[in-house]
Amino acid sequence: MDIASAPRFPRLDAVDPADVARDRGIDPLAYLPDMDVTDSPVLGELLDRAAAFDFDAVGQADVRAALAADRLSPEGFGALLSPAAEPMLEELAAAARNARRRWFGSTAYLFTPLYLANYCDNHCVYCGFNRDNDICRARLDADGIVAELDAIAATGLEEILLLTGEDRARTDVAYIGEACKLAAERFRMVGVEVYPMNEDEYAYLHACGVDYVTVFQETYDPVLYGKLHLAGRKRVFPYRANAQERALRGGMRGAAFGALLGLGDFRRDALACGLHAWLLQRAYPHAELSLSCPRLRPIVGNGSLGPRDVGERQLLQVMCAYRLLLPQAGITISSRERAGFRDEVMGIAATKISAGVSTGVGEHAGEEEAGDDQFEIADGRDVSQVRAALRAAGLEPVMNDYVRL
């Protein structure tokens, strides 16, 4: 693929003025004054590659060539995501299973998310935390954080992912940092999934005990991105897209990527997401990278939301392609999916599974005034149930593979 001549997404030439007018003149492509500008070619290259790839030109011979390759190229990765590869899903799954066994054996990692707050300053049309939604808002204080952490630790989990809505006023960096310190006292692995930050802020969180950062780009289509994010700092597409690189520069050991499949063209979004991780792995070979595969789910006030054109077969195809592109990367299967499907893909492509999940605030310790959920989950099993299911599938549940000295 000739990157120099590759067609660019429309957003690189023009921005719809109506999109800018929706929220105090925030241009989805322009950094705000307090945002770090990342001097990296990664975003431009991944967008060019994703835009240029022609899925319709892929035939089954191209898919077989990709499956036979010793090392999958970006073009081969695109072939595995193509419509031509879907009828060959059993072959993709067999190749993915072999790669998983080679690099991860029978291990299956467990974790759970903990929502610290659901206040948000963004208006994302697909999210339950949308600032215009009439939901019960809550923020845990220090005592509430400790109660939640202790309740989760009692289940035997040793890895936790701390989340907030994207509201810098109510959940500032210092608040998140204090929560991370409390988590690091109780868990061997601490991740955060919060609003994108500057490099020095990521360095601060790392000093507070954070090991990795998760940022979902939602969609890599810049035009669609501006139309889905109607207000708030999340409107700034490149600042979000470069968050993982700033986190790695800030000292984080790992970073996780994800596109919310079903918002746009899921094949192109998956292509861009995989390329994002692939390019950063080349730029930061020491980094421990992982991919998440969430599908769009119903939210409070909109139960009709769902993953457009992305059934379980298509989701499995994406996960198998991810596994073959980045055989050493972690892949997380979300509680958005039904239990049986999650258990099955853990033996094929995924390496990490959440258990005992709540997407609301203050629900692990049984608080009466819990904040409303971000989205509906499909798998509500507790930790013991997930562990039993993994063992029944021939996998060995692992709580942690890292000891902080």
Judged by DSSP in three states, 213 sits in: strand
pLDDT surpassing 60 at residue 20: no
Residues forming a β-bridge with 161? 113, 191
Percent of the chain residues past pLDDT 90, beyond the cut: 72
Question: Does the pLDDT value for residue 346 go beyond 90?
Answer: yes
SS3 13: coil
- In degrees to the nearest 10, what's the CA dihedral of 372, 374, 378, 379? -80
Burial 16-52 (b: 16+ CB within 10 A, else e): eeebbebbeebbbbeeeeebbebeeebbebbbbbbbe
Structural domains present in the chain: 89-398 (3.20.20.70)
* Dihedral angle over CA of 348, 354, 360, 361, nearest 10: -150
Question: Which residues are bridge partners to 191 per DSSP?
Answer: 161, 212
- pLDDT(369) > 60: no
Percent of residues, the chain, with pLDDT higher than 70:
88
Q: What is the mean pLDDT of residues 281-290?
A: 97
| DSSP assignments along 315-377, one per residue | HHHHHHHHHHHSTTSEEEEPTTS-HHHHHHHHTTT--EEE-S---SBSTTTT-SSPBPPSS--
Mean pLDDT, the chain, whole residue set: 89
What pLDDT band is residue 15 in, cutting at 50, 70 and 90? low
Phi then psi for residue 31, to 5 deg, are -65, 145
Is the pLDDT reported for residue 22 higher than 60?
no
Q: What is the pLDDT of residue 4?
A: 34
> pLDDT-derived band of residue 374, with 50, 70 and 90 as boundaries?
low
Evaluated on CA atoms 331, 334, 337, 339, the torsion sign reads positive
pLDDT per position as a tens digit, 223-279:
889 888 888 899 999 999 999 999 999 999 999 999 999 898 999 999 999 999 999
